[in-house]
């Protein structure tokens, strides 16, 4: 018994020495620099989110002012005169192209918000799937029956891709089938929940400034409660400040992109060939083309869209999603694009672990302080450097400021989305768990470099049941053998494949089929 007690005392003393030694070492100049750097990263993020909140809040104030002046349709246009029939009939034609893959829990609602747009000009919708065996084909077919030909919408079978990603292939097939009178083409993902005036707002900006090459927007994630969903919310939030400029931006989100239709008809700047010949990521490819030719990308302040995340979003699905996001940096269109992607890769990895490291150090400082406080047999020599706790206090303050700024931006974007969609059930900030947000910040930034390094060395990725292999930044091989074993997508658990001849169950769609809001339907193109 005495031997065991002696051993435990020696072990405890050794652990204390190592812990106190680590705490003192973390007060060295280099360690202090790392911890101060973490505080600076927190404050820079807070400053960026504050700027984004200002831009979004300015739009809210303008809408409120217009409503106070008697314009109760400010969610469609600040100027009530723009809604006059004489101006609406002059609006240009728009083709909405939606590449689809699989069918998930939020798809029907998202598609309805797109089909019930209040755009006053000619508007057509092209739902593009790779085959009739895709569950999305049957779901869209049933949905379009509910509209009884009130909208100009059709389903296009694109077939399997051979030289690019399936999404890009579907987009290009959609462009080939768009109406010859369309002036603009709007690419939307199936997880985009549009506001009634979104198409009109994007078109108005294109008309106002013909120099715009691409117009884009960004999603407002609505976490479902799981850690994986909060990690995705946290991953998107730093990028949100780049889309909340209210004008010019260098960022591009493939979920919402409006472009000139003639740019695709004439393959201007190689937009078609650049996407078709080995393209993996639509937004990264188009952003690279825009940068190479110094073309303008903008993001209007109203282009923020609610993005409810799947209720069963597991952590493993989040990891697969993160893998796909880091993998896009392995694709490139030119040597300059390659250098820029490598720079993004390096900077993001450095900042991610630069953000996480201070919290690991803070845990050591706090643990050492607690052990020092409760230790009975203290020596006369001071073992704990008080500067460690001062650094921890600074980190706590900077983290609180960062979370407060993130909360404020989310609050303002929720309010803006509610004003832009007055007919929809209001969104609420009360569902957000800010403790999980903090945990997700640490987890996501810790995993990002691991995912990025793995993507760099693998050079292949599974995207919705299809494995793409890259060579020199472009797709050179597509493996579809995984279709037999993979039935659900990684992120949203969408059903990807159906048995041949299978029909979607009425019970799945029935609850949605009678909920169409009484909005004026968009005009069709004149035949």
Neighbouring residues of 300: CB distance < 8 A, sequence distance ≥ 6: 201, 202, 205, 215, 217, 246, 247
Question: pLDDT value at position 366?
Answer: 81
DSSP letters for 276-296:
HTT---HHHHHHHHHHHTT-E
Q: Which pLDDT does position 489 carry in this prediction?
A: 52
Measured CA to CA in angstroms, residue 420 lies from 30, 47, 78, 108, 391 at distances of 49, 26, 12, 20, 43
Instruction: Find tokens 């409503």 and name the residue.
Output: 67
Task: Decide: 112 and 512 in contact? Cβ < 8 Å.
Answer: yes
Q: What is the pLDDT of residue 6?
A: 55
Four-residue CA torsion sign, 249, 346, 282, 490 = negative
pLDDT at position 314: 83
Alpha-carbon span 464 to 441, nearest angstrom: 26
Q: What is the pLDDT of residue 153?
A: 92
Question: What is the set of domains in the chain, with CATH numbers?
Answer: 78-346 (3.90.550.10)
Which mean pLDDT values do the consecutive 10-residue runs of the chain (527 residues) have? 52 57 72 91 96 95 92 89 86 95 82 89 94 91 84 93 94 96 95 91 95 95 90 92 89 94 96 95 94 94 91 84 91 91 93 93 81 57 68 94 96 96 89 92 95 91 87 92 52 52 36 36 56
d(CA 409, CA 429): 11
Res 225: pLDDT: 87
CB 279 within 8 A of CB 475: yes
What is the pLDDT at residue 27? 76
CB atoms closer than 10 angstroms to residue 515: 10
For the whole model, what pTM was predicted?
Answer: 0.86
d(CA 486, CA 516): 33
Residue pair 299/244 in contact (Cβ under 8 Å)? The answer is yes
Q: What is the pLDDT of residue 150?
A: 80
pLDDT of residue 246: 84
Residue 210, pLDDT score: 94
Dihedral angle over CA of 115, 241, 491, 403, nearest 10: -120
Identify the pLDDT of residue 78.
87
Can you give the pLDDT at residue 431? 81
Q: In sequence order, what are the residues at sequence separation of 6 or more whose Cβ sits closer than 8 angstroms to the Cβ of residue 338?
A: 332, 473
């Amino acid at each position: 018994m005495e031997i065991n007690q002696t051993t435990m005392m020696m072990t405890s003393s050794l652990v204390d020495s190592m812990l106190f030694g680590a705490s003192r070492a973390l007060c060295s100049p280099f360690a202090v620099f790392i911890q101060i750097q973490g505080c600076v990263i927190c404050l820079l993020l807070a400053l960026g989110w504050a700027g984004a909140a200002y831009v979004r809040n300015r739009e809210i104030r303008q809408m409120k002012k217009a409503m106070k002046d008697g314009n109760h349709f400010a969610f469609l246009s600040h100027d009530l005169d723009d809604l006059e029939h004489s101006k609406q009939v002059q609006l240009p034609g728009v083709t909405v192209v939606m590449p689809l893959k699989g069918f998930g829990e939020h798809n029907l609602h998202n598609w309805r918000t797109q089909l019930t747009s209040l755009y006053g000009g000619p508007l057509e919708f092209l739902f593009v799937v790779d085959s009739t065996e895709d569950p999305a084909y049957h779901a869209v077919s049933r949905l379009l029956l509910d509209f009884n030909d009130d909208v100009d919408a059709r389903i296009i079978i694109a077939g399997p891709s051979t030289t690019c990603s399936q999404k890009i292939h579907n987009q290009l097939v959609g462009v080939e089938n768009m109406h010859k009178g369309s002036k603009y083409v709007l690419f939307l993902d199936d997880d985009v929940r549009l506001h009634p005036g979104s198409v009109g707002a994007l078109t108005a900006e294109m008309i106002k400034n013909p120099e715009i090459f691409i117009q884009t927007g960004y999603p407002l994630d609505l976490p479902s409660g799981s850690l994986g969903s909060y990690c995705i919310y946290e991953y998107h939030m730093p990028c949100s400040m780049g889309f909340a400029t209210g004008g010019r931006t260098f960022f591009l989100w493939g979920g919402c992109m409006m472009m000139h239709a003639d740019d695709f008809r004439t393959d201007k700047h190689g937009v078609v060939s650049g996407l078709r010949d080995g393209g993996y990521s639509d937004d990264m490819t188009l952003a690279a083309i825009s940068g190479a030719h110094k073309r303008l990308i903008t993001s209007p302040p109203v282009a923020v869209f609610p993005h409810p995340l799947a209720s069963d979003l597991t952590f493993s699905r989040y990891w697969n999603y993160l893998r796909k996001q880091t993998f896009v940096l392995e694709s490139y269109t030119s040597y300059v694009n390659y250098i820029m992607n490598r720079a993004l890769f390096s900077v993001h990895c450095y900042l991610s672990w630069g953000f996480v490291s201070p919290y690991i150090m803070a845990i050591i400082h706090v643990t050492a302080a607690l052990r020092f406080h409760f230790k009975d047999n203290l020596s006369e020599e001071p073992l704990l450097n008080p500067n460690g706790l001062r650094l921890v206090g600074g980190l706590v303050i900077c983290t609180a400021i960062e979370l407060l700024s993130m909360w404020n931006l989310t609050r303002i974007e929720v309010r803006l989305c509610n004003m832009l969609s007055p007919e929809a059930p209001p969104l609420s900030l009360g569902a957000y768990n800010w403790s999980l947000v903090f945990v997700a910040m640490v987890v996501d930034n810790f995993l990002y470099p691991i995912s990025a390094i793995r993507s760099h060395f693998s050079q292949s990725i599974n995207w919705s049941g299809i494995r793409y292999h890259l060579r020199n930044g472009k797709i050179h091989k597509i493996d579809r053998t995984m279709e037999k074993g993979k039935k659900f997508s990684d992120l949203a658990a969408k059903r990807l494949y159906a048995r041949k001849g299978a029909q979607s169950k009425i019970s799945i769609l029935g609850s949605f089929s009678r909920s169409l809001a009484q909005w004026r339907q968009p005009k069709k193109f004149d035949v």
